[in-house]
Structure formats: structure tokens, C-alpha cells
Structure 1
Amino acid sequence: MHFIELKKNLKKDFSGLKKAKIALLGDSATQLLTQAIRGYGYELGFDLEIFEADYDQIDRQIMYSASEMYQSQPEYIIIFQSVQKLRKRFYKTDIRKRSQFAQNEAARITGFLAELSKNIHGVKVIVANFMEQNDSVFGQYANKTDMSLLYQIRHLNCALMTLAANTKNLFICDVAALTAAFGHVAATDNRNYINADMAFSLDFLPEMAKGIVDNIQVVSGAAKKCLVLDLDNTIWGGIIGDDGVENIQIGDLNQGKAFSELQCWAKELQRRGVILAICSKNDEDIAKTPFLKHPDMVLSLDDIAIFVANWDSKVDNLKKIKSFLNIGYDSMVFIDDNPYERGVVKNHLPEITIPDLPEDPADYLPFLSGLNLFETSAYTQEDEQRTAHFQQELKREITQASFTDEREFLKSLSMTCEIQPFSTFNLPRAAQLLQRSNQFNLRTIRYTEEDLQRLSTSDAHLSWTFSVHDQFGSYGLISVVIGCLDGDEFFIDTWVMSCRVLKRGVKHLALNEIVQAAKRLGAKRIRGEYISTPKNGLVKNHYPNLGFTEKDAGQWILDVASYTPREHFISITTQVIDE
């Protein structure tokens, strides 16, 4: 988008949008960047309330605990330091100490993080890294000497990556990559820098705003989870039903290379945990032929969670895919080469993200990767198993169809459950579940991994994680419950569950565990709270359906003494009793 379009958004109605409080700290002029961030936030459904610090006040705002920034109580803090100011600091550094410049700059940012975490619990920090700049003092030799500016910028950017990898609440706005893609010359405007101290050109500001807001969006729990692919002329050239498997374009020759590279990208997304689905107007057996017989196919049927190929409308088939995966339409990205098909789906299912592919397949991958549709804030080993989970679920559905009695079907699954408190092994996945779960999430409190670590050592809180297995395989860690004693009530602070285990009895098992814990603590009642969001209507009646009675609006009470354990067909293989 152009800056002028983002600026126009500022005059639109922000009511009803998700709110977030941000502090923007910069060492150069940030007024227009502030406008771009707020304008881009509108595009993604955010009402971003931005505290913009005075010019070049990063150190003061962070290191002075009574600063205006701390008074604004931000949820996110953006630290933007320009490469121009970095260059000035480098030039002022004693030549004998320049080899340590990047290390010292990284230490400075580490100090900022420590101070911010001390003063604002749970704050998320977004740090902009640095555009690469060769001042030509050493020419090409800059790549070989740690005395050069270019060497130190690259070293600093790597140090920031390492710091972010080891700091759960730190995220990077990758200015280095954004400016490289946009073009270093186009990303800057020297006249604006000299006259107004603007580090970037007006045209580049939307790119940086997108990088910042993309981080905020995914940390807040909104992420694209599924890539739905058309087949003909999308992941291979040609029409399989007409051309035959031997004549479709795929592989390392000519245009086939473009389709193979797109498949490589999709496969890497699948390995990262993005669900792949197929939606094609085709005979299913014919559509699967390249996956089974073409030697140059990168994607295999094992990479696909659900394969839908028939002659129904793509709107209907996308509805089937959404229903099977039990995700929101806004979590889906649909890739189709046909403008007509894209238009029909956009008209009927506007929440799905549907990129308008370029006409030339050679441009498919650069275009799609440039959109950065699959931003993420975390990655766990369980992400690698997500496709297998859905393939197993398809087998369960086939098995369930052979039963007329649901209880008998549940018994046949031979389900087992491991119940554990938070630990170093399950904290990353537990935090990811809390960040990404929107439908089965009673209060939608977004605890970070750092928050969960703190709760795990709290004497006032109990925590449970639930990992379920059955005869078809593992569901993985699928539920998290956090509770605490509040007088003679046990309060359920957090209850989230993956929709993969709906109607499997896990919520009954979890409630039985909660009641047992409440009894051990001497609680007379259990109190649950439901906070409505646009996405968690699924659990609106969760507490009344479990026998709770309404006390106040959104507050539900269950009497411990009169509770009768709920029926389920899950064997507990590991259970840690919280004292």
C-alpha cells in the first residue's frame, strides 16, 4: 500500500476494532511512521493507540522509570534506531575499539530489554534491525575486516537474531530484509533525511509499518494456519485431465521450474506447521496422479492434510475444508491461478485471504513470499506433526461413520491422557496454544512463555497440560488449564483446548481434575468466567453445559461438594497431583 492510503485510514471509524497500546521510540523523526503504523493497523483490524516519544529519547524513556512511556502503560514497545545514527556512533568510536562496536550495541539493547521487563510485566518488545550500508571506506574489503561499518552492521544484525532467539518477549522488525527487497536507494530519501531527519523515504514507510504490525498481529493470536492450493496451472503447468501426467510442466526445465519452486515453498511451510490442503475442480483419482507418479513432484500426498478434488464449487469445498480443520476462514489462504474462481470465493467467503497471483508463473513465488502471509511468533517440534494429526483425524472420521453409538466409538479409540504441570519441556507448546487458540478459549488471556514460567513457580497457581493419544496416533498437547485459590473459591484463570479433541471427552476429564484439586485445597466452589470475543462463541455455553450456574454476567459457579464426576472414556497414563 502507499503511504497516502494508510493516512486516509486515519479518518475512518476505528470503533469495534481490537485495541492495543503501543509505544514508539526512535532516534530520528517518527511522526509519519506513527501514522503509517496506525493506518496499517486499521487494515488488519486493529485500533492501535500509539505513544510517540519525543525526538531521540530512547535512553531516557527506557531508563527513567517515571517516564511518559511507562505512564502510557504500553503492551508493545517499538525501538527504532536508524542506520544513519548508528553510522555516526561508529565513526565516533575510538578506532581501537571498533571491532567491539556491534557487541557493545547489542549489549545496550540487552540493557534496554532488562529495564523494560523490570518495569512492565509481560511487555513485548519489537526492535528494528539495520539496513545494510557500505560507506565505501574499505570498498569490497569491508567484507573481510571487522574495522568496517558494513562488517559491524552485519555482525549487529546477527547478534540481534541471537538475542531474539533467546528472549521470548523480543521480536525483530527485519528492516535489513525489507530494505533489501524494496531497494536500498528507494528506501531512503537523502533530502528528507538532511532536512527533516527522516531515516526512510515516504514510499518505504508502509513496508516498515507492515513489518511492525505483522509482529503485533501474530503475537496477539491472529495467524494464518492453512494454505489451500489449487492444482492445474497453480502448482504445475497445464491441465492434468487434458495433458496427462507426462505433459504437465514441473521440474527444472523452463516454466516447470517456477511451479517446482512454489511447491518447495509450500513444503517448507508444511514442515513449519502450516496446514496444506488441496481444493481443485478435478476427478480425485486423476488429480492425485502427479503426486503418485510424477518424478519431479516436490509435494507428496503425505504433505496434504485434506485433499478435496471434485466438480463442486470451490466455495462449497473450502467450506468443507474449513469444517474439517475446525479453523476460522480468516486463518486460511487460498491460492488459485484463475481470476474468476478467486473472484467467486472472495464474494462468498471474504474472510479468506486470496492473493491475486501475477499472470506469469515465474512471478508466483516472489509475489507470495513478499506478502509475508504466514508470520509466526513461535515454532515447536509439535508444529512438524500438525499434518499427521489431521491425517489421523480423517481416519477417525471414517471409523466413526461405522458406529451408530457415539459412546461405543469413543471407547473404541482407546484414548489415553498424560496430565502434567508446566515444565521446561511443555512450556513452549503450552504458550503457543494460549497464543493461537481463539475458539475454545474462555477468557482469551494471552500469556507468553515467560508468563507461564512465572506461573509455574507461583505457590498461588495450579497448572495442567493435557496430551492425548489414541489408536490412530497422538493429538499432542491439546489443552491447558490454569487455576488459583481465591478465598473459598477455586478460580479457573485459563482454559483453552484444541478443537481437534472436541467431543472426545477431554473437557469432562479436565473438569474432574479441577474439582479434585479444588477439594484438596479446601475450596467450596469453582468459579469460571466467560469473556466473549468475536471468535469464541463456540464456548459461550461451556460452563452451563457442565453444570455451572450463573452468578453474575459472565461468572459461573459450581458447587464442589455436590459434584458428580463427568463420564469420559480416557485412561490417565500420567498424572501429577498438585499439592
Structure 2
Amino acid sequence: WGGVIGDDGWENIQLGHGLGIGKAFTEFQQWVKKLKNRGIVIAVCSKNNEETAKEPFVKHPDMVLRLDDISVFMANWDNKADNIRQIQSILNIGFDSMVFLDDNPFERTIVRENIPQITVPELPEDPGEYLEYVYELNLFETVSYSKADVERTQQYQTEAQRVSLQKVFANESDFLKSLDMVSEVKGFDTFNTPRVAQLSQRSNQFNLRTVRYTEADVERLSSDKQYENFSFTLSDKFGDNGLICVVILEKQDEETLFVDTWFMSCRVLKRGMENFTLNTLVEYAKAKGFKRIIGEYVATPKNKMVEEHYQNLGFVPSADTQQRNLYVLEMDTYEIK
């Protein structure tokens, strides 16, 4: 909107469908709303009191965006770079997947210098030129989007609630128990195939080998007896995260399973899903008579966070690596965690 909410009050900001600067800001909000409806995550980073910053979203009749369109609302008097780091920690996405839009050149410079991975467009001085300028940057185009994308804002809103609840507990174990988490485990089917393919295309950080799959690839794997496929959903008392983890095991021989693919949504990190997933794989391996599981870490510029994933779960480096990062877990030595 036009104006300064703290000085002008929500009643006097420039916004609306008439002529002038108010119309430009309304059209800009309409564009942001369309992005949100396509699954682009919208967050607010405001240097203001939270109550004051939220007033237009609640009270102004010409606001297109409302609080339920915002995944994370961060309003205080800290510098915006620090607040963006807080937003990033809640969303669990890479800074290079974030775009910071601000009409204040000072704020843009602070963020650009402190978090160089973020895209910070140099908006024109005239708000009437914002849309044309941002359109030309082509920052938000995607090949496709799904029902899960449309629901993403609500998922991140509930994640913010989890973060707030976690601060109440003295230890992580009690916090995790309080969430009442439930995971459904099943193979690939007609219903989850699109989401499996989509998650494989988008998962960069928690992705051990970064193999990408199309829907046709997923359908082929679901019928190939050489592979065993696992999909994991996760819900808790705050809401349903949907499908959040995929593992594809290749049966190398009668005794050995190879983890062809293991990727997981960063939204559910530090909730014990890594251990639960491995427990599921081990139970399957033992039931089918396999003696070991071999995992591989293939480094990319974005997946360093899982560099020690297999060691942390009890795997040991393979003696026969052939310059590959291979790790082995023997079934007779693994204890369910």
C-alpha cells in the first residue's frame, strides 16, 4: 500500500480500485494473491509493531491480501535481514528460493549485502511500474502445480504454530511426543504418483542421490519387481503435511538392497522421520531375508546437509567404494530406534 501505516493509520493508506497510486498497489496485491493460489509461499517482513502491521490485513476493506494468505508474518523492530533468516528457518527452504520485494532502497541494500543468495529486485520508484518490471524478471514461473501446492500456505502456517509450541518444551523428546504424529507408509499408486514425481523434481537439500523422476518413471518403478517403493505421509495435531518422504530400494541380489533414492521434504526435519523411515526399511529387509542395506551420497551444490546422513543413522563406510560415497548397514547389528 501507499503511505506509512504507523504514521498514517490503516484508514489513510493509499489502496483501492480508483485512480492513482492506490490502484497500482491493489493490482500488485492481486498479482501476489494469484501467486499464492499457485503455491508460491508468501511471507511478510515488516519493521513495525505486529499489531499495527496486521491491522490493514484485518480491517481495510480494499485489501486483497488477508492474514490467511500469509504463511509467516514477521513484524518487529529488528533488521529485516535477521527477520528473513527467521522466516527461512521456519519455512526450511533455501535462501536462493526466496525473493525479497521492498520499496525502500535502504532495506533492499541491507538484505542484499547480508544474504547474497536471495533475489532482491531493484523495484522502480513508481509503484505503477512494479508489475511490468517484476513480470519481465520471470521469477515465479513453474511447469505445473498441484493440489498440494495450493495447500502449501496452510501447511507453513501450521509449521509456524509448531515452532511456537516447541519453545514451551524443555527438551525435544517431550515436544515431539506432544505433536501426536502419524505417518502412513505405502508404495506408489495412482493417487500419490503425481506428488512423488513432483517432490523428486523439487527436493534439493534432503536428497541423497538427486535422481529426478517423471510420472511415467514412477509408474514404471511401481510395477518393476526389481524395486521396492515407499512413500511416507506425516500428520500431527496441527495438520496434515501430506506426502513428505520417498525411498526407492533396488534389489541388487538376494542379500543386498541398494537405496536408489531417498528424499524428504525439509518441512519435517528434526521430527524423527529419518529414524522412522530407516526402521521401516529395516523391517522390510528382515522380513524378506535381506542381510544388508547399502546407501550412497552423491554430492550436489545444495545437498550438503545430508552429507553425513548415513553415518548418523549407523551405516559404516563401504570398503569397496570405487570412489563413490557408499555406506553399509548390516541387518543383524541394527537396533530399532
Smaller-chain TM-score bracket: over 0.9
1:555 & 1:441 partners in 2: Cα distance? Answer: 15
* Secondary structure, counterpart of 1:337 in structure 2: coil
Give the alignment partner of residue 294 of structure 1, picking from 60, 66, 82. 60
Assess if the C-alpha contact under 8 Å between 1:378 and 1:432 holds in 2: no
Across the two proteins, how many residue pairs are aligned to each other? 331
1:329 & 1:411 partners in 2: Cα distance? Answer: 30
Per-residue displacement from partner, 1:359-409 (whole Å, max 9, x unpaired)?
111111122122210121231101111111111111112222111132222
Q: Which residue of 2 aligns with 1:527?
A: 294
Q: How far has the Cα of 1:348 moved from its partner? A: 1.9
Q: Which runs of 4+ in 1 moved over 4 A?
A: none
Give the aligned residue type for 1:241: G
Assess if the C-alpha contact under 8 Å between 1:420 and 1:466 holds in 2: yes
Q: Which residue of 2 aligns with 1:556?
A: 327
Q: How far has the Cα of 1:316 moved from its partner? A: 1.1
Which runs of no fewer than 5 residues in structure 1 stay unpaired?
A: 1-235, 567-579
Give the aligned residue type for 1:269: L
Give the aligned residue type for 1:398: S
Confirm whether residue 250 of structure 1 aligns to residue 12 of structure 2.
no
Q: How far has the Cα of 1:562 moved from its partner? A: 2.2
Give the alignment partner of residue 504 of structure 1, picking from 271, 276, 284. 271
Confirm whether residue 314 of structure 1 aligns to residue 109 of structure 2.
no
Confirm whether residue 544 of structure 1 aligns to residue 315 of structure 2.
no
Task: Kindly report which structure 2 residues correspond to 1:382-401, keeping only aligned pairs within 5 A, or say none.
Answer: 382-401=148-167
Q: Which residue of 2 aligns with 1:366?
A: 132
Percent identity of equivalent pairs: 54
* Secondary structure, counterpart of 2:182 in structure 1: strand
Q: How far has the Cα of 1:514 moved from its partner? A: 0.9
2:37 & 2:246 partners in 1: Cα distance? Answer: 24
Q: Which moved more, 1:341-350 or 1:290-299?
A: 341-350
Task: Kindly report which structure 2 residues correspond to 1:228-377, keeping only aligned pairs within 5 A, or say none.
Answer: 236-254=1-19, 255-377=21-143
2:38 & 2:57 partners in 1: Cα distance? Answer: 21
Greater relative CO (CA pairs within 8 A, separation 6+): 2
Per-residue displacement from partner, 1:27-52 (whole Å, max 9, x unpaired)?
xxxxxxxxxxxxxxxxxxxxxxxxxx
1:562 & 1:461 partners in 2: Cα distance? Answer: 24
When Rg is computed on C-alpha atoms for both structures, the one with the higher figure is 1
2:28 & 2:45 partners in 1: Cα distance? Answer: 16
Q: State TM-score, norm by structure 2.
A: 0.95
2:115 & 2:163 partners in 1: Cα distance? Answer: 26
What RMSD, in angstroms, separates the aligned Cα atoms of the two structures? Answer: 1.2
Q: Which residue of 1 aligns with 2:225?
A: 459
Per-residue displacement from partner, 1:4-23 (whole Å, max 9, x unpaired)?
xxxxxxxxxxxxxxxxxxxx
Give the aligned residue type for 1:239: V
Assess if the C-alpha contact under 8 Å between 2:208 and 2:296 holds in 1: yes
Per-residue displacement from partner, 1:451-485 (whole Å, max 9, x unpaired)?
11111111111111111111111011100111111
2:176 & 2:222 partners in 1: Cα distance? Answer: 33
Give the aligned residue type for 1:259: F
Q: Which residue of 2 aligns with 1:136?
A: none
Confirm whether residue 516 of structure 1 aligns to residue 283 of structure 2.
yes
2:69 & 2:328 partners in 1: Cα distance? Answer: 45
Give the aligned residue type for 2:12: N
Give the aligned residue type for 1:440: F
Assess if the C-alpha contact under 8 Å between 2:90 and 2:163 holds in 1: no
2:142 & 2:57 partners in 1: Cα distance? Answer: 29
Q: How far has the Cα of 1:344 moved from its partner? A: 2.2
Assess if the C-alpha contact under 8 Å between 1:308 and 1:317 holds in 2: yes
Assess if the C-alpha contact under 8 Å between 1:485 and 1:521 holds in 2: no
